A and B are shown apart, each in its own frame.
Chain A
Amino acid sequence: MREQMPDTTLRPCHLPGTRLEQRGGRVIVCDADGKAMLALNESAAALWELCDGSTTIDEMVMAICEVSSISVHQARDDVERTLGEFERAGLLLAGDV
């Protein structure tokens, strides 16, 4: 069955109260109580900062293409995969991706 393509005009938004923290050289998404929810690499942490409810997936993809040597197709795959991880970890508001 063909996988459903995400709507790239959506504006992902992280859960209220969640924030990034640096712990032991790693970047961690924490909930409002400081409980670690997900460890992120540098690119994922940058993407997390863009999940503010005002930035579309298309805008994220185009910005990443501008600073990297990867194709739009690859950037889109990377963004969608990372956002999928955020969603599976319960870090995004429902229906954002």
Chain B
Amino acid sequence: MALETATVVLGGGMPAVLEVLDFALGRRPGVAILGWDTSVQGTVDKVAARSPDVALVCADLPDWDGIKACTDIKRLGTPTRVIVVGSEGDQATLISAVKAGADGYVTVADSVDDLVGALHQVHRGESRVPPLMLGSLLRGLIELRREDDAAVERFASLGNREREVLVELVAGLDHHTIATKLHLSPHTVRTHSQNILTKLGVHSRLEAARFVFEHDLFSRFGIGDG
């Protein structure tokens, strides 16, 4: 059976690497390189304009954010599949790639044959993770899910008034302004603030804000603008 050609756009911060990939992959049967770009926006624009089957993007490099490229390509809502090229054993980048919606992850230690195999694998609709990284990837995702569940549980323990105060704290308002806005005494706002930090398991309003945004808690609880 003839191999279906996978059309590919390449993205990464190093032109020399992309030129080598273009040359090496473009010569293989079943692969057609539609172009490459060294900027995230340029790569996303090429994907939007050329609708490749697969975008092969390098992971983080100086002046290049491969995870953002993956996220932005996925946000286009096109059928283009994304493979991130990262370091062998770089668990953090692999997890970030999966969270960004990547369909595959290959490593710089992989051969061109491996890359071609990965391109066709994700083009067929399958996912691709380096076998030796799969176990720790699953473990990492499970840990993240547990942290997320715990965050939701902590947030759910806040009373309605505490949630109202938290919204204002995250917005950067001071206690006096919050008190005026919510028709409370400053002392009550301070008490609520302390209780909020304790319940969320954080030590400052800055940490509280990060906690809320990291777990997307306002949106998930239908609070404010999300």
Contact = CB atoms under 8 A, between A and B. Distances in A.
Given A68-B127, A69-B125, A69-B126, A63 B145 contact: yes
A46 B127 contact: no
Contact of B142 (A43, A50, A69): A50
A50 B103 CA distance: 22
**Chain A contact residues (Cβ within 8 angstroms of B): what range?**
10 to 19
Interface residues of B, number: 17
Contacts of A43: 134
Contact of A42 (B134, B141, B142): B134
30 contacts: A42-B134, A45-B134, A46-B134, A46-B137, A46-B138, A49-B135, A49-B136, A49-B138, A50-B135, A50-B138, A50-B139, A55-B142, A59-B142, A59-B145, A62-B142, A63-B138, A63-B141, A63-B142, A63-B145, A66-B141, A67-B98, A67-B127, A67-B129, A67-B134, A67-B137, A67-B138, A68-B126, A68-B127, A69-B103, A69-B127
Interface string B57-78: 0000000000000000000000
A63 B103 CA distance: 14
Contacts of A62: 142, 145
Contacts of A66: 98, 141
Interface string B111-138: 0000000000000011101010011111
Contacts of A68: 126-127
Interface in A38-95: 42-43, 45-50, 55, 59-60, 62-64, 66-69
Instruction: Name the residue in B127, B131, B135 with the highest tally of chain A Cβ atoms < 10 Å from its Cβ.
Output: B135
Interface of A: 42-43, 45-50, 55, 59-60, 62-64, 66-69
B20 to A, nearest CB: 28
A43 to B, nearest CB: 7
Nearest to B94: A67
Contact of B139 (A42, A45, A49, A69): A49
A67 B129 CA distance: 8
* Closest A-B pairs by Cβ, 6 of them: A49-B135, A42-B131, A46-B134, A46-B135, A63-B138, A63-B141
Contacts of B137: 46, 67
A68 B103 CA distance: 8
Nearest to B126: A69
